[in-house]
Amino acid sequence: MAIRVVLADDHDLVRTCIRALLASHGIDVVAEAGDGRSLLQGVRKHRPDVALVDVSMPLLDGIEATRRIARLSSETRVVILTMHPDEHLARRARSAGARGYVVKDETPDRLIEVIERVMAGEECVPPGDPEDEVLTTKEREVLQLIAEGKRNREIASIMSRSIHTVRSHRARLMRKLDARTATELVKVAEERGLLRWPV
C-alpha cells in the first residue's frame, strides 16, 4: 500500500517538485498546504502516514505545527524540511516530535530514504551536540524558578546564592537551550519536558 503524505511548504514550486519526486517513487501526496494552519487541517482530515513539514511557514511555524500534529494524529510521522543544517533546530524538531529531518540541498534520494526509514520505525534526526543539552542540578533549579516567574533576586534568596551566581546559571541556560529571552527559555524547556508542574 502506498505511503500517504501531506506536504507543507509555502513555495508552490518546491511543493510541485517534491510532489513529482514522491509520485515517481509510488508515494501518494493526499494533500498540500502553504501554511501551518492549512497543514493541521490536512492532517486532521487525511490522517496521513507522513507529514513533510517546512520549518519556515506563515501562520504557524514548522516546529509548533509538529508539536500539534503529535497531539492531533499520533500515527502521523513528521519529517522536517529546512534550508539550513542547524543542530539547535534539529534538537527542537526532535523535542517537538519529529521523526525525520532533511536539509533541502540534500539529494532527492535522501528524502525518499528518510521517509522510508521513518515508516520502518527509525528516527532520522541529527543528534547535535549532546554536551550542550546537559543541565546541572543547580541549572535545573534555576530553570524551574524562572518558569515560576521568579526574578533573579528572588531566585538568589531562595537558593541562598549571590545574584551574580544566579545570572551565570541563567546565561548558561540560555546558551544550552538556545534561547534569547526568558519566555523563549521556558517554552523550549516545556517542549523538552524539563519542567515540573504540580498536578
Strands of 22-137, DSSP E: 28-33, 50-54, 77-82, 100-103
Say if residue 99's pLDDT is above 50: yes
Percent of the chain at pLDDT > 90 equals 59
Task: Compute the distance between CA of residue 68 and CA of residue 62 in angstroms, rounded to an integer.
Answer: 10
Q: Is the dihedral of CA 65, 68, 72, 76 positive or negative?
A: positive
Q: Considering the chain, what is the average pLDDT of its residues?
A: 88
CATH class name, domain 131-191: mainly alpha
Burial (CB count within 10 angstroms: exposed 0-12, middle 13-18, buried 19+), residue 181? exposed
The rounded distance, in Å, linking the Cα atoms of 128 and 192 is: 15
Confidence at residue 7, expressed as pLDDT on a 0 to 100 scale: 96
Q: pLDDT tens for residues 123-182?
A: 888 865 554 456 888 898 999 999 999 999 999 999 999 999 999 999 999 988 888 899
Q: Which CATH number is associated with domain 4-119?
A: 3.40.50.2300
pLDDT at 131: 44
Closest CA to 191 of 81, 98, 74: 98
Report d(CA 159, CA 145) in Å as an integer. Answer: 10
| Residues 53, 65 contacting (CB under 8 angstroms) | yes
Q: List, as one string, the DSSP characters of 126-174.
A: ----GGGG---HHHHHHHHHHHTT--HHHHHHHHT--HHHHHHHHHHHH
Chain position carrying cell 498540500:
32
pLDDT for the residue numbered 132? 46
Higher-confidence residue of 88 and 179: namely: 179
CA pair distance 161, 45, nearest whole angstrom: 53
Q: What is the per-residue pLDDT across 34-55, written as a single tens digit (0 to 9) for each?
A: 999 999 999 999 999 999 999 8
| Structure confidence at residue 60 (pLDDT) | 86
Domain ranges of the chain: 4-119, 131-191
Residues 6 or more apart in contact with residue 127 via CB below 8 angstroms? 90
Helix (H, G, I), strand (E, B) or coil at 117: helix
